[in-house]
Structure 1
């Protein structure tokens, strides 16, 4: 799911931004102070239907075929609509642009019958827009890091890897209102996948006329509940109700105004001064120093979500090309102390990659704060590399108070437990992401929020060395074989196979899990109907000001 930019006191991500995926946390959903489906009171229209929020950082893109982080994903969720959409319960996919869905008995063919709907510029949304969007994301020239989400579609992976043609991909517009999709294997969660942004349509005419269409409000065209009115980069963004949206009668907000303030303390002050209606997750984080008082006051809401905060190792560069040294660094962390002293919002120590809501091994794969084993592994690893001293070590993270505090604490633990000096390096989110993808790091922070509630979504990130989100450059033939086998299995056998795969991932430790996410926020009591799903995604479609 989603890369988490945020990802600290939250989940898809939360202190910084989650990739993704971004998106461990388990899942109460929606606005916890009022049911998402609750209707506005009779006098609701007396208050301006304006919601004021803060984006912790500039969204890297508003293009659903390219986006890979939670900040971009939230804007895309507001301005686009898929064949299906997660409903007000925050769990269940419901028909959206598709008003009727037929599934073949063997589970391999889905036929989506589209309702009458329009783009924000008035063009009709057609099945051809979906076919074009999916093939565009899979096209190697697009270089979408999320293309693998479409590998469930027949020949999707083959086309993305240059082994098939676009016309071989199993998505076809039979006419303007009918989309036929053929899958590689039966995929029980496919209608959940079609709620995800990589499966959204794009307007072919708009995209082909201007490759930079998604970077400015004046050229952005979506089909969702809201449309982009303005985008002052690194300063402000405004979304307004999309009167061309097929379900506009259920959209109560007229405007969503986003400021872009990176400092969490400033954001909280803006909330307390009445300049914002909401502070904290999922678009930002609460300042860690303020969490105890906010918790005691009863003003803070905390929700577990399916996401994991981890550090990635660059396994192609010494010394982290040695598995024992990677494990030494992973074992020499006291995760519980990070949670107790820094995070303070009910997170759980992560001793595996897969979060609790879909756990394959509830006991985890290693011990927290196992310093003795860590020291032994470090000595053995250095001996294997033929070195008596480690080269300079740098830990990188994106600019964010929470990420910084975690990095500083881990830096201290590595010095105390292993005698290792580690330099810290922070970068602006977009630059940080680019450097991670280009291998310009040794250890790098990232979070992953689930795109759907299944372990494969966390494990498949590391299936291919050159996979879009596999910045570790690690690959293991047995791990890959197990994931491929699981695609043809079901039930307990499939879960057993995936557990074997996770055990390999944790034995080779290309990533170092740290904690499973929760999201924490404060909001004005008048804000109702915001849906935050169990994966950390946010939907303002049904939000209103009471």
Structure 2
């Protein structure tokens, strides 16, 4: 509930299992912990869970472990980053009241629990939404909706629990050495069909993507999700790894976000100018050797409900960019483009900065923050004074996931603090629509307003290149891109 970045999220997705899970082929969600999810009106959902499933401490997963966890995540004073994922549930604003429109501190909550959550018995609970929302079941495989054990719910310290988490997934936590490795081991009492046959798994944390790649080539790393730019040139990675490669499109987009809390970036013409000054085709061709696709829409087109080509500022038009910059009153000083230096982002972020400098005739510079943990801390604390690298890895297969968390006021990953009342209104109309198709139509209207506001800059769509070692005979990546450890078969 408090992790909204992919590095931690990938580990959490192995430590926990939710009500539903998403098949690797991108098809509709399948029940996992849920026995059934039923509704007659898309507003009241009755959820039954399978009996006999356990947390890693041996306690049984029951209905209250979902209800109490969701109430904890939604409760404003707890400060969970993913609290907005519970905003569909009746009573959310009672536990998480919004801050005043003019700014300032949010008022104290009227309640500690949402009236829309009710435990029926040990294996059944009801969820009443504030309005019908047909996409709600699709969201339930996201990590914000995972159950929490009584060890946490009965007064556990969130920070301490985060250092030694207890989940209900196929792997359980062993140890975590910050900036070095997280060690996991198989949970032998796991009873669902995505069991892991591997005994132990170590997630290595690198400060440099090229160092990780060298470990992959030498056999000291068994799987690398994203091959660095340096190895893509001339298909070097294929020569290094032979047939131990994976090359698949994934519903993930790279983008650059604007800090709306910095007054320098509040003029929409400036934001449009920056976007139009970027030659996405040159970046994907020269930096990524054609392995990525220039972004032309706000949601990745692999996503259900997404519309291809709806980003009107994703074209390269330096003349129009300079005209818009003039209308914005120009830009003084150096425009800094921030990125985390421990992954393979230096080349393309420098290309962006150089293109903006050249095509707008201003000073621009790419600035590395050494570690992603430091980078994310600055983003979450709203401490960046320039545009910054971002990406969105689809949490669940619906275009709503590319709108609510990113562009709705208070969204869990709306880190730049963008806010537009019309976007919020159209989004809420979409979530209350009577069908998925009707919802998608409203979401499309909201995205069209986002396109006018330019809160961020879509740059490229991922085509993921991954590699694995000679120790692995078979492996698949999941629908979002990370390794699916339940598919791994070792050689020999």
The answer to whether 1:431 aligns with 2:374 is: yes
Structure ranking higher on relative contact order (CA contacts 8 Å, 6+ apart):
1
2:352 to 386, 410, 426: 410
- Displacement of 1:407: 1.4
Taking the TM superposition and a 5 Å limit, the aligned residue runs for 1:205-244 are: 205-206=151-152, 208-216=155-163, 219-244=164-189
Q: What residue in structure 2 maps to residue 67 of structure 1?
A: 3
**8 Å Cα contact 1:242/1:248 also seen in 2:** no
CA distance in 1, matches of 2:82, 2:320: 37
Taking the TM superposition and a 5 Å limit, the aligned residue runs for 1:41-190 are: 65-87=1-23, 89=25, 91-98=27-34, 100-108=35-43, 109-161=45-97, 165-190=111-136
- What SS does the aligned partner of 2:328 have? helix
Taking the TM superposition and a 5 Å limit, the aligned residue runs for 1:340-355 are: 340-344=285-289, 346-355=291-300
- Displacement of 1:543: 2.7
1:203 to 133, 141, 149: 149
**Residues 157-195 of structure 1: per-residue CA shift (max 9 Å, x gap):** 543226652443322222222222223344333333221
Gaps of 5+ in 2: 98-107
**Residues 246-269 of structure 1: per-residue CA shift (max 9 Å, x gap):** 238943111112222222222122
- What SS does the aligned partner of 1:481 have? helix
2:315 to 368, 380, 384: 368
2:236 to 293, 296, 302: 293
**8 Å Cα contact 1:89/1:531 also seen in 2:** no
TM-score norm. by structure 2 comes to 0.89
CA distance in 1, matches of 2:251, 2:265: 28
Moved more, 396-405 or 241-250: 241-250
2:220 to 259, 262, 275: 275
Q: What residue in structure 2 maps to residue 502 of structure 1?
A: 447
The number of residues matched between the two structures is 470
CA distance in 2, matches of 1:429, 1:104: 41
1:312 to 235, 247, 257: 257
CA distance in 2, matches of 1:493, 1:107: 13
Give the 3 Å change call, closer, same or farther, for CA 250–482 of structure 1 in structure 2: closer
- What SS does the aligned partner of 1:354 have? coil
- What SS does the aligned partner of 1:168 have? coil
**8 Å Cα contact 1:118/1:245 also seen in 2:** yes
Taking the TM superposition and a 5 Å limit, the aligned residue runs for 1:490-529 are: 490-524=435-469, 527=472
CA distance in 2, matches of 1:316, 1:391: 18
- What SS does the aligned partner of 1:472 have? coil
**8 Å Cα contact 1:319/1:391 also seen in 2:** no
TM-score norm. by structure 1 comes to 0.80
- Displacement of 1:457: 1.2
CA distance in 2, matches of 1:485, 1:398: 37
CA distance in 2, matches of 1:192, 1:527: 32
